[in-house]
């Protein structure tokens, strides 16, 4: 077995490899000094494709791809993601790259300002999904602290007509017709930062991240700006599952690919003090879909820490469980989080982590 770990940072992309369950070896940096806020490892084709949403600084955002595990990179001859002139919008960042599990060759992208894009050529070029862009509630959408970003794209694992997205601070939306029309799907999610009497809005929710298990696509897990939730009907209704956590504020949430009942979060003190609870790195895992939670810190630093983990910087899958911190450390676990190993340190601010078995 060979595992590939892709680590997007504020100053470059780092690829790490492990063979036969051995330690990960980190390759030299790609795109040095260039921000890499989104990465995907697409294993659907004959060869794996690594996709990277990059930020050129003065030249703006783009998407590049590699079909040789990062040795060489390609980019479309024209900007791969560009707003049509009639929108009056300018691309600020590519927040998410998500291959579709039910449509060969299709890759979705989430961007800022909040927008959804569809590629049918393996992630080389994209078109705007205008059904979401023209949603009647858009004039009332407001940005969160990180901007008006569409940061999560969840294509249904078996039905290409169904797709869901999350945007900050807009909320969770879903479509049953391939993106032609959309409905907000935030029922029972509480927004405690809003005034009394207005804390359950149809939209205007600050969703931080949503995760899905491919074998049970109706089940979703959501990390909110205060609140951890589960849905068993693709976002039709949500149930609060955060009671057993030391804090229900955080950014990432990840479902283990081997078990739809196993979910991971990384609690922080709160929206003002965005540091780990008790100033210790501690990943919390539930093996029963959120009924009970257990802190997992064996192998993580004993000394106080003050860094955090961003919304896309934790992943759980066949290759293991991994997270990266804002002070440039990356940890991995081969036993579901029971024990952790330091994979890399002294990296730039970690923005995204993705892993795959090749």
**Which domain does 122 fall in, by range?**
2-357
pLDDT for res 1: 79
Looking at the DSSP bridge assignments, the partners of residue 267 are 250
Over the stretch 25-73, which tens digit does the pLDDT of each residue have?
999 999 999 999 999 999 999 999 999 999 988 789 999 999 999 999 9
How sure is the predictor about 251, in pLDDT bands with cuts at 50, 70 and 90? Answer: very high
**C-alpha to C-alpha distance for 270 and 215, rounded to whole angstroms:** 33
pLDDT digits (tens, 9 = 90+) for 275-285: 999 999 999 99
Name the H helices within the chain: 130-133
Scanning the structure block, which residue is given the tokens 């879909």?
289
DSSP states along 223-257: EESS-EEEESSTTSS-EE--TTSS-SEEEEEEE-T
Residue owning tokens 């900007």:
79
Q: Is the predicted pLDDT of residue 20 greater than 90, yes or no?
A: no
Q: What is the CATH number of the domain that holds 108?
A: 2.130.10.10
| Domain count for the chain | 1
Check: CB of residue 239 under 8 Å from CB of residue 229. Answer: yes
Task: Name the phi and psi angles at 126, rounded to 5.
Answer: -135, 155
């Amino acid at each position: 077995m060979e595992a590939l770990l892709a680590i997007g940072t504020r100053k470059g992309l780092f690829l790490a490899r492990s063979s036969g369950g051995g330690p990960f070896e980190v390759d030299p940096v790609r795109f040095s000094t260039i921000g890499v806020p989104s990465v995907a490892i697409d294993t659907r084709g004959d060869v794996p494709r690594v996709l990277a949403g990059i930020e050129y600084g003065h030249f703006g955002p783009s998407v590049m791809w590699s079909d040789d595990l990062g040795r060489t990179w390609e980019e479309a001859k024209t900007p791969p993601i560009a707003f049509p002139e009639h929108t009056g919008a300018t691309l600020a960042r590519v927040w998410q790259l998500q291959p579709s599990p039910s449509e060969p060759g299709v890759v979705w992208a989430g961007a800022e300002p909040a927008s959804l894009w569809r590629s049918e050529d393996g992630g080389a070029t994209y078109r705007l999904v205008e059904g979401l862009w023209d949603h009647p509630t858009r004039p009332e959408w407001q940005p969160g602290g990180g901007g008006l970003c569409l940061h999560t794209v969840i294509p249904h694992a078996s039905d290409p007509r169904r797709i869901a997205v999350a945007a900050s601070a807009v909320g969770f939306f879903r479509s049953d017709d391939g993106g032609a029309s959309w409905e907000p799907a935030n029922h029972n999610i509480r927004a405690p930062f809003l005034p009394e009497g207005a804390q359950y809005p149809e939209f205007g929710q600050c969703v931080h991240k949503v995760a899905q298990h491919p074998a049970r696509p109706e089940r979703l897990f959501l990390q909110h700006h205060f609140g951890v939730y589960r849905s068993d009907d693709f976002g039709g209704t949500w149930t609060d599952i955060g009671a057993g956590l030391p804090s229900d504020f955080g950014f990432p949430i990840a479902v283990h690919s081997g078990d739809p009942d196993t979910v991971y979060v990384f609690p922080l003190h709160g929206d003002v003090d965005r540091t780990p609870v008790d100033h210790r790195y501690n990943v919390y895992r539930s093996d029963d879909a959120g009924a009970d939670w257990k802190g997992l810190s064996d192998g993580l630093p004993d000394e106080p820490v003050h860094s955090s983990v961003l919304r896309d910087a934790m992943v759980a899958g066949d290759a293991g469980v991994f997270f990266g911190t804002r002070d440039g450390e990356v940890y991995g676990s081969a036993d579901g989080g029971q024990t952790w190993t330091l994979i890399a340190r002294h990296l730039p601010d970690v923005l995204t982590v993705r892993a795959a078995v090749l």
